[in-house]
Structure 1
Amino acid sequence: VRPYLGPLHEHFTIVCWDQRGTAASFAAGRDGLSVQQFTDDVSVLSKLLATRFNQEKIFLVGHSWGSVIGLMAAQQEPDLFHAYIGAAQQVNSVENDSIGYEMILEGARTAGDAKTVKTMEKLGYPPYVKRLSDGTEVPDGDAYYQVLSRLYHYSPSAPADANYRSEKMFLAPEHSFFDRINLIRGVVRGVKQVYPLLSDLDFERDVTELECPLFIVNGRYDMSCVATISERWYNQVEAPVKDLLWLEKSGHNAVYSEADEFMRYMVETVLPLSDFDGDLDDFQIRAAIIL
């Protein structure tokens, strides 16, 4: 966050969270966890931060997978948050993954990538399941990883994508050498473990109302968390205040690729339209979690 959104520190106290099973929290593990457990973790951390900074509420920002548990936490305990900000908001996993699958298959055929075409045709459309030795069918994270690993290659090229370099996430001075190794391990392992948790995700069905202010930030080219699905849900959901920002030159990592636009939005739109009523000049008393 710091290399891209550093100036936000002038307006927010920013907390970046290493979730269970990754980076500094790698030892906590992810075995046997549920979406509800991660959501409860968000609530616990939010309460801790509110106490630490002597606040009744904080701001919550969730990106990608973080937008799943972020939105669920905001629905579960809306009184904890001045506002929820969903960046690359995930809404419906099966529809989202099916659109991605079609895009990869079409792109591979056009490019003459016979290996990818063969792999995709063998996998078929999501959702993916595997049969255990006792005959039970469970979601197959390994199959999903084969799709996700090809998604970025066949996603449309966004003009601002060159502004984002994922390797910068490994440069945080707070992370030790082993934290950085565990960040990589956590990302790879996490994709395979998180997919089974999202097999029934449908916020159009499950989140029709939010009791805290809602802000959605979409990258126009995002095909990882398909932006048009997020927009459709946004148009339907009820909230005390809601607003949608399109970052027109970016894809999945729009908040970093178009960082200036995102930071301007946070300060000029989110703060005034949220229920925050404190002193905007006293940045030290506010906290936001970036998931």
Structure 2
Amino acid sequence: MPRKAARLIGVSLLGLAGVLVIVAAAGLGVRAYRQHLAAETLAIRSPNGVQEGAYVDIGGIKQWIQIRGEDRDNPVLLFVHGGPGGSTLPISSGWRPWEKHFTVVQWDQRGAGRTYGAAGDALAPTMTLERMTQDGIELVEYLRNHLHKDKIVLVGHSWGSFLGIHIVKQRPDLFYAYVGTGQVVGRVTFEKSFELAITHLQELAQSASNSEALAELAPIVARPQITPQNRLVADKWSKSLGLPSIESFQLAGPVPPPFMPDFSLLDWYNWRKGMTFSAKYLRGREGPMFKRDVAALGLAFPIPVVFIEGDADYNTPSGPAEQLFNQIIAPHKEFVRVRGGGHFIPFDRPDEFLAELVAYVRPLVPN
């Protein structure tokens, strides 16, 4: 190649690199500005309010918690996130109205988000349901002392409902009430979810007149068991026929996740890594949600129990949760059905979820 041509190519590549640097810098600048505006939108300015984020020593490691509310005298609501590993910090701007009624605590569990970022893969030997249950108890003890409360309310979502119900069963004395949403019962939850997915796939295949899909799905429809072979068939046609995924929902809130304040690109990296890491130890056929049933913990609860369930939740269908609820013995219990609600009603319908909390949960906390 002639030197002149090589020189031109080199100059062109340098120019392209320069353009890319400028574009990246501009993008980061826009993001920083949007985060600044978001911080103003979400700021707690009331004189008795609380807005904190910090690592706390829980279970022998540093675990991240965030505490927000307009009035410290309000009840404390601990939200136990799902996933496993699905920290809710970047997707919770729709909860700003909740903070008028509750002091809302978010917790990056062992193996999730910033907690994963602080410890990394060294957490692997400790990723057990038993250890994380004790983490939750230690966290609540910390919150009681830090916020000067006798008891708190626990809201568990999806995996967090499975973990949360273990926490309250071990130490009911720490809680005014337990609230489950997207409640996981155990294996039966995922068997029902699989059955609904197969039925939906059959409907999609019929609409598309896909004879091959109908033929492969027919024996599974007749007997929708979760086996490795049946999963392969379901995964194949889920992609081909466009079955909506678990992520198919629209967040509601004033701040899009990429612009949440005080959430860096490194935080996003650890958020995604934590999801993968936690799933390795807590999800799947060998994970505790599939191998254990919460009914085995006992059906008697000495505290009020509230289930807030979407009737269009195909990931953790409300049927098994309602069957469990009907067997629960508690001083007070409510099963609240959200019409048309999916798996993520705290996030895509936060105002409606808050209305249910105010109507059914807030009265359970003494003034």
Range into which the TM-score falls when normalised by the shorter chain:
0.7 to 0.9
Contact 2:180 2:306 in 1 (8 A): yes
Would you say how many aligned residue pairs link Structure 1 and Structure 2? 254
**Residue 213 (structure 1) aligned with residue 281 (structure 2):** no
Name 2:96's counterpart in structure 1: 6
What is the Cα deviation at residue 2 of structure 1? 3.6
The 5 Å alignment of 1:120-269 reads 125-126=225-226, 154=243, 161-162=249-250, 164=252, 168-169=256-257, 171-195=259-283, 196-269=287-360
**Can you give the 5+ residue segments of structure 2 that lack an aligned partner in the other structure?**
1-90
**What CA distance in whole angstroms lies between the structure 2 residues aligned with 1:263 and 1:84?**
15
| Alignment CA distance shift 1:174-1:71 (3 Å) | farther
Contact 2:165 2:294 in 1 (8 A): no
**What CA distance in whole angstroms lies between the structure 2 residues aligned with 1:212 and 1:265?**
18
Q: Please give the per-residue CA displacement for 1:65-106, whole angstroms capped at 9, x wherever unaligned.
A: 00011111111001111111111111122x222222233333
Contact 1:84 1:214 in 2 (8 A): yes
Contact 2:92 2:347 in 1 (8 A): no
TM value normalised by structure 2: 0.61
| Alignment CA distance shift 1:91-1:106 (3 Å) | same
What is the Cα deviation at residue 259 of structure 1? 1.8
Q: What is the aligned counterpart of 1:50 among 138, 141, 144?
A: 144
Over the matched positions of the two proteins, sequence identity in percent amounts to 25
**Can you give the 5+ residue segments of structure 1 that lack an aligned partner in the other structure?**
129-141, 279-291
Name 1:25's counterpart in structure 2: 115
| Alignment CA distance shift 1:101-1:2 (3 Å) | closer
Name 2:105's counterpart in structure 1: 15
Name 1:40's counterpart in structure 2: 134
| Bigger Rg over Cα | 2
Contact 2:184 2:289 in 1 (8 A): no
**What CA distance in whole angstroms lies between the structure 2 residues aligned with 1:183 and 1:162?**
19
**What CA distance in whole angstroms lies between the structure 1 residues aligned with 2:360 and 2:215?**
44
**What CA distance in whole angstroms lies between the structure 2 residues aligned with 1:210 and 1:193?**
29
Name 2:164's counterpart in structure 1: 70
Contact 1:214 1:243 in 2 (8 A): yes
**What CA distance in whole angstroms lies between the structure 2 residues aligned with 1:73 and 1:169?**
29
What is the Cα deviation at residue 207 of structure 1? 3.1
Contact 1:105 1:117 in 2 (8 A): no
Q: What is the aligned counterpart of 1:102 among 180, 195, 202?
A: 195
Q: Which has the higher contact order (CA 8 A, sep 6+)?
A: 1
Contact 2:182 2:309 in 1 (8 A): yes
Name 1:289's counterpart in structure 2: none
